[in-house]
Structure 1
Amino acid sequence: MTKPYLPQMAEVAQNRFGLRVAARLSAGAEDLPYDISERLRAARMQAMARRKQPVAVTRLRTANAVVRHGNTLTLGSGEDGLGFWGRLTSLALVCALVIGLVAANVVQDDDRTTEVADLDASLLTDDLPPEAYSDAGFVQFLKTSGQSTTVSH
């Protein structure tokens, strides 16, 4: 069975190779003249300055739970990861959402009630009997006359 090749493993292998090369070069540099060894020392200092800083290795964990949602499987640790404040914040957001939905419903109901009241008032104060509004021809007349009056204004 092969293990997965992770980017962290590649960096570790690179660092080991670099250390082996540096040790081999250092062992052969003892017999060199002073000016060459000084140039090599300066080159090493430059290389060390340009070297990538090691990246923190993330810790891998195995999934403790497999949750099924319809045709989808989700891997999880079995805990939601929310502390007291996270749960309190979530509860506050849900409460705000419910209050907003209730407020929108109340406003819409109030608007509908106002529209129905205006329609009833106009029907009751009009010169025509309410049966005239149920006649299909009269409704068509109102639609066409309403369009012509809005165009002429």
Structure 2
Amino acid sequence: MNSSQFPASTELDARVTRFGLRVAAGLTERSAALPQDVSERLRFAREQALARAAQARAAASPALATDAAGAVHNGSTLALKGGPRGSGNGGNGALWAKLASALPLILLLAGLMLMREGQDNEQIAAAAEVDTALLSDSLPPAAFSDPGFAEFLRDGEE
């Protein structure tokens, strides 16, 4: 890979920052032309967003944040945790979660096996019908060696 194709991460961060500053400046310029009620609602929403962001930063450690579903977010990685600590399940929660995630695969494999078993039974039944038709008729032995005789029997049944 050619390293000149992709900018360094510091250069990319600088570009993103410059873009954000340009967008913010454009929004600030156009906010003077907004009606009073719209600008008041935007101010209130901005204050709420800043308060929520401050609460989220205060509640989460700098490197690791856990949400209510038990997922661990570390950068862009998402992993599932067992249960809450101290819940007294002794690690059984992680075992049950793994078994529950494997259940669809197990059901799929069982369904495929049942379908194959049914197809095998249909083939056996069709061969048994041909054998029964051959053995119950009074035919000369030369008819059994004829390659088109089994096809003749199948056509006669239809």
The bucket for the TM-score relative to the shorter chain is 0.3 to 0.5
TM-score, length-normalised on structure 1?
Answer: 0.46
TM-score, length-normalised on structure 2?
Answer: 0.45
